């Protein structure tokens, strides 16, 4: 069984999982802009990430219907 080790993207605002050999999921997250701690919204462009960030910002309840 091969367990792929994944780690969280270096960008604190980003919720993407990246493989252990990478630090960030995208050029955006690797840039100073992406790492800016004042940035609460990640703009790496991954739909999954945006979705999860939105969910966090609106609370874990997920009462919002799309």
Which residues lie near Zn ion (CB under 5 A)?
A: 9, 11, 14, 16, 25, 29, 42, 44, 49
Judged by beta carbon, residue 3 or residue 46, the one nearer Zn ion is 46
Distance CA 41, CA 36 (A): 10
Judged by beta carbon, residue 38 or residue 65, the one nearer Zn ion is 38
Judged by beta carbon, residue 29 or residue 36, the one nearer Zn ion is 29
Distance (Å) of CA 25 to CA 2, 3, 5, 59, 64: 21, 19, 14, 24, 27
| Shortest Å distance, C-beta 41 to Zn ion | 9
């Amino acid at each position: 069984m091969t367990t792929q080790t994944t780690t969280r993207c270096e960008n604190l605002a980003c919720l993407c999982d990246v493989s252990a050999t990478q630090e960030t999921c995208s050029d955006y997250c690797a840039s100073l802009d992406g790492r800016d701690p004042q940035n609460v919204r990640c703009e790496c462009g991954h739909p999954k990430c945006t979705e999860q960030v939105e969910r966090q910002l609106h609370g874990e309840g997920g009462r919002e219907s799309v």
